[in-house]
Structure 1
Amino acid sequence: MNAPPHLELDLLAFPKAVPDLRRTVRQYLDAPCVDVQLCVTELVGNVIRHLGEGTPVRVRVVRAEGRTRVEVADPDPRALPVLVCATGDDESGRGLALLDAVALRWGVEQGAAGKMVWCELEEA
């Protein structure tokens, strides 16, 4: 039985939804995928922090050409993620730095209906 070509979930961004989301991603990939789960967690966490709990998001995970692509779309085209250099005393600001460290590349696509933050990792 072949896995579907991608996983796509529409959900409301609440902290309590993240553990189930991580589990669903792990089940879809059917392999250890700590880095993919980290990226999903950070991208959804950014939506919660910057747009608020309950924001509708679409999470998409695609396996293709030896890579795993994670996409998190939200309805606000203005709240763009920014990679910052957090110091040892900072209590936040490390999420995108972690994503940047584990991903091969990442970016943001803006549209009239919102934005999508994506990253690509070596296939899990």
Structure 2
Amino acid sequence: MPENGNAPWEYTLYIPNDVRAVTVSRRTLRLILTLHGLIRLVDMAELLATELVSNAVRHTKGPAALRVRWSAGVLRIGAWDADPEPPEPPAPLDRLTDAEDGRGLALVRACADLWGWQPLSRGGNRGKYVWCELAAA
């Protein structure tokens, strides 16, 4: 484990509106968590980040970003996009009929310890941030 493994840290990866960015985001997240000694969170974090970034890229037209933050034993994964509209509320997993459409936030809700979203506005730019958390314990 790296020295000072409990110290908070944060990374942001800015990505274009390109479906290949989902793979880049997932691999970058795996590397970050591995380097910080958080191997046990990698698989679930990858699943959650894939769903969040995929939604940001598929449902918006502008750039996006993946943000990963570790603080007080909690991993927060979030995706920013330029669309200020709220995400569609997730349906219960047992009600999903289409394996590709509508499952993203349902998986996030089912797998994360906590999730949410917030509108963002900075310097005239608008958008939203959809996030989820995983506790290390």
Please, what is the CA RMSD of the aligned residues? Answer: 2.2
Closer/same/farther in 2, CA of residues 81 and 123 from structure 1, 3 Å limit: farther
Further displaced range: 65-74 or 3-12: 3-12
Alignment partner of 1:48 out of 57, 65, 72:
57
Alignment partner of 2:115 out of 94, 106, 112:
106
| Alpha-carbon distance between aligned partners in 1 of 2:16 and 2:105, rounded to the nearest angstrom | 21
TM-score by length of 1: 0.85
Which structure would you say has the larger Rg?
Answer: 2
Does the aligned pair in 2 maintain the 1:63–1:123 contact within 8 Å? Answer: no
TM-score by length of 2: 0.77
- Number of matched residues? 122
| Percent identity of paired positions between Structure 1 and Structure 2 | 36
Which 4+ residue blocks in structure 1 deviate beyond 3 angstroms?
Answer: 1-4, 85-89
- Matched with 2:98 is 90
| Alpha-carbon distance between aligned partners in 2 of 1:17 and 1:62, rounded to the nearest angstrom | 19
Cα shift readout 1:38-86 (whole Å, capped 9, x = no counterpart) = 111101111222214xx31121101111110011111111142321246
Does the aligned pair in 2 maintain the 1:50–1:79 contact within 8 Å? Answer: no
- Matched with 2:131 is 118
Q: Mind listing any 5+ residue stretches in structure 1 that lack a counterpart?
A: none
